[in-house]
Amino acid sequence: MQDSFSYKDGQLFCDSVPLREIAQEFDTPCYVYSYSQIVRNYHAFDDAFSSIPHLIAYAIKANSNGAILRTLAQEGSGADVVSGGELVRTLAAGIPAERIVFAGVGKRKEELEYALKSRILLLNVESLEELELLQLITAEQKMRVPIAIRVNPDVEVKTHPYISTGQREDKFGLAVPQALNAYRQARDSQELDPIGIHMHIGSQITELWPYRKALAILLSFMKTLVKEDISLRFLDLGGGLGISYTGQPVPTPFDLAKIVLPMIKNWEGTLILEPGRAIVGNAGLLLTEVLYHKVGPRRPLLIIDAGMNDLMRPCLYGASHRFLPTSNPDGKAREIDVAGPVCESADILGSKCLLPQLNSGEYLAIRDVGAYGFSMSSTYNSRPRPAEVMIQGKQAFLIREREDLADLIAKERIPQFLK
């Protein structure tokens, strides 16, 4: 697939815009997204499953910026949300309620009520107590609500344990015996309409066999449900398809379709997929400025102005990202560590990076941070969060202003006894 980030005449570009100019105009750290890459990634999923009724429900948690949501809304995307706040963002961006599914293991009563009021497509129920609360709410409002039950298929995937969601010990969904009881309870309810089944086995999955195994478990369970007089119209396989962070080959949406479509060829209904990282991950990078150089104990140390508060993944998951100079990439490379300014020893954004000599004031681009980059950022060390910019063709658009120091204290209140 075409890559929106490439070198031209020694300068790193996002589509038709030099990234060095973006850094100079909008300052650093700064998240930069390619509009065209997001659109291409979405249509890779949409096209791969075009032969059957389907809904691509973008996972909002990956990146919830309104401009990105509006981009996907205009392309026909649905949304997978996991909080009332994400539902607010999604509706405000123009994604229709009938294309929204709501998952999450800990939905509050007011979030359930808001989802019902909004008349979204499906509520994905994750516990028996949530099912009972939903029955109480719908009985009060005298309405019937379409639901899916999230099933935990107990399938192990090769990913970081923090982003594994489909094993027995994970907190998400219901094991098959519990799920059967939930479907029976919903079937016998006057308020609930069990028309879907949902799973999500993890994130950053770079092999296809876990999908095959988990889907086989769901399809077998669905046969049991038919015998229970429960016929489903929606099959939600969740998301989790990984991207390449280091250049290694990974499965594509078309590879996933080759696994899934033959397995459901005899089932009549709508397939739902919830990609997040695979749509926005490689569409974003983080621009940062080189501040200082140090002699480290093992390797030279490069200090940059982006830290773990801007990009949590390396600290949280031990994740690796590619670092690219925005100018003159062909200098003699050396192995260095890249550290941020945050007062934590964990604030190492890159280890053993092969980079040419970079002077203070030059810029680096950290690749593949469009997913779980800004959305996981914080103001730790009282560092304002960075700006976000979207590139469309030859133009750059500011899609989130950089926070300033005043923003850091704007919501704080001093109690009367301290005045």
* Sequence-ordered strand ranges (E) for 113-185: 122-125, 145-150
| In contact, 126 and 174? CB cutoff 8 Å | yes
Q: Which amino acid is at 28?
A: T
Calculated CA dihedral for residues 218, 221, 227, 232, nearest 10 degrees: -30
* Dist CA 107 CA 237 (whole Å): 20
* Dist CA 337 CA 322 (whole Å): 12
* Dist CA 62 CA 79 (whole Å): 11
| In contact, 84 and 104? CB cutoff 8 Å | no
Q: Is the dihedral of CA 340, 364, 317, 408 positive or negative?
A: positive
Q: Which two tokens stand for residue 120?
A: 């979204």
* Dist CA 371 CA 71 (whole Å): 15
Q: Which two tokens stand for residue 259?
A: 């696994």
Task: State the DSSP H helix or E strand holding residue 209, giving kind and residue range, or none if neither.
Answer: helix 209-227
Coil, strand, or helix at residue 349? strand
Coil, strand, or helix at residue 392? strand
Coil, strand, or helix at residue 221? helix
Phi, psi of 78 (to 5 degrees): -95, -165
CA distances for 374 relative to 168, 368, 377, 394, angstroms? 31, 12, 5, 23
Calculated CA dihedral for residues 161, 167, 171, 172, nearest 10 degrees: 110
Among 14, 30, 315, 343, the active-site one is 343
Q: Where are the alpha helices (DSSP H) in 14-165?
A: 19-26, 35-48, 66-75, 84-92, 109-118, 128-141
| In contact, 89 and 64? CB cutoff 8 Å | yes
353 belongs to the catalytic site: no
Q: Which two tokens stand for residue 353?
A: 């990076």
Query: Annotated active-site positions, please?
Result: 343
